[in-house]
């Protein structure tokens, strides 16, 4: 017959081996204390920020003149996903480790492939990005020096701000450059049409104001015999020049709108909590460590004495 344990047997065995269990728990607490004071301390610093809605500083929102549409100031899930993707990209992380002088902190050559890979591995191991239900993002870094931990966390936010802003600024800079090139092209064309009009007016003696829409035509001083033909020619050229002047003014207005939205005073990332050097090391406190290690040691000691007692009962059974 196979022996069994009931609750009373378990309690009796634990009571019988109570001193042994306590001894194991105390031994685990001693080992945990020695390990806690022997290991090198690590410090964790964190910074929190909010992502603004890029549409809030877009020209269609700033210079709206047809309809008023509500645009949320804070970014949505898509904007937070883009910011998180940038923080997890190798390009951004490479700039962070270079700006924070990781080659001096961790004594590795950042210009060699092996050294750079090592520094990136260290950064990826100790850097963490976390989003909350309040749509804010927390970046944290763990280092052996409290100042290093805070500097890396703050630098990651600074690099993200620049990289995130550059995504939208590159498009606006390109549009502004295209408009500027078109304005220069129109300036050249307008100058040519102006010279042509001056020549035509001199040739045909058309000195009055000519309106392309024929609503206001003044022909005083047109003494040439072919003044009628001159008026038509001047009007045709004037209509093209007037439209180019209108287009040029419109392009200048658009360029001003794009350059206004590139003003650095409009933020894309809003820091709500800067990282500061932590006062104490990361991880559980010494009291929590002692209680946890003692409880774990006592638990496994109980398991051991119960298993040992059970096998002793099995061996005592006559087979």
Residue 85 exposure: Cα atoms within 13 Å on the Cβ side: 8
How far the first Cα of the chain sits from its last, in Å, is 9
Burial 264-299 (b: 16+ CB within 10 A, else e): eeeebbeeeeebeebeebeeeeeeebbeebbeebbe
- For 4-116, list the strands marked E by DSSP: 43-51
Look at residues 97, 78, 253, 99 and name the one whose alpha carbon lies nearest to residue 167.
78
Asked if residue 149 lies in contact with residue 142, where contact means CB atoms within 8 angstroms, the answer is yes
What DSSP element (H or E) covers 138?
Answer: strand 136-143
**CB 42, CB 145: distance < 8 Å:** no
Strand order across the beta sheet in which 127-131 lies: 127-131, 136-143, 43-51, 269-273
The closest alpha carbon to 306, from 2, 7, 1, belongs to 7
CA angle 130, 136, 141 (to 5 degrees): 40
pLDDT tens string, the chain, 319 residues long: the values are 566 667 787 788 888 888 888 898 889 888 888 887 777 888 999 999 999 888 877 777 777 765 666 778 888 888 899 999 999 999 999 999 999 999 999 999 999 999 999 999 999 999 999 998 888 999 999 999 899 999 999 999 999 999 998 888 888 888 889 999 999 999 999 999 888 888 888 877 777 776 665 455 454 444 455 677 877 888 888 888 889 999 999 999 989 888 888 887 788 899 999 999 988 777 777 788 788 888 998 898 888 888 888 787 777 765 5
Alpha carbon distance 156, 126 (integer Å): 13
């Amino acid at each position: 017959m196979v022996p069994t344990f009931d609750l009373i047997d378990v309690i009796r065995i634990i009571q019988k081996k109570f001193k042994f269990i306590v001894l194991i728990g105390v031994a685990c607490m001693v080992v945990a204390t020695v390990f806690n004071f022997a290991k090198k301390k690590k410090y964790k610093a964190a910074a929190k920020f909010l992502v603004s809605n890029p549409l809030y500083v877009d020209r269609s929102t700033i210079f709206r003149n047809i309809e008023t549409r509500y645009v949320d100031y804070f970014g949505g899930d898509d904007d937070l996903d883009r910011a998180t993707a940038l923080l997890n990209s190798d390009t951004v992380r490479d700039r962070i480790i270079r700006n924070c002088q990781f080659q001096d902190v961790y004594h590795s050559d950042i210009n060699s492939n092996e050294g750079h890979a090592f520094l990136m591995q260290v950064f990826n191991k100790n850097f963490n990005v976390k989003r909350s239900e309040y749509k804010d993002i927390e970046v944290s870094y763990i280092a052996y020096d409290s100042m290093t931990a805070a500097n890396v966390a703050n630098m990651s936010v600074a690099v993200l701000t620049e990289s995130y802003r550059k995504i939208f600024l590159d498009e606006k800079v390109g549009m502004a450059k295209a408009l500027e090139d078109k304005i220069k092209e129109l300036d050249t064309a307008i100058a040519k049409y102006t010279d042509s009009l001056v020549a035509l007016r001199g040739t045909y003696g058309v000195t009055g104001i000519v309106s392309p829409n024929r609503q206001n035509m003044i022909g005083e001083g047109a003494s040439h015999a072919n003044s009628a033909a001159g008026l038509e020619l001047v009007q045709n050229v004037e209509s093209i020049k007037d439209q180019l002047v209108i287009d040029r003014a419109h392009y200048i207005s658009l360029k001003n709108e794009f350059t206004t939205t590139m003003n650095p005073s409009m933020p894309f990332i809003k820091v709500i909590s800067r990282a500061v050097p932590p006062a104490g090391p990361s991880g559980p406190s010494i009291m929590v460590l002692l209680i946890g290690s003692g409880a774990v040691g006592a638990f496994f000691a109980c398991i051991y004495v119960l298993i040992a007692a059970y096998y002793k009962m099995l061996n005592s059974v006559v087979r």
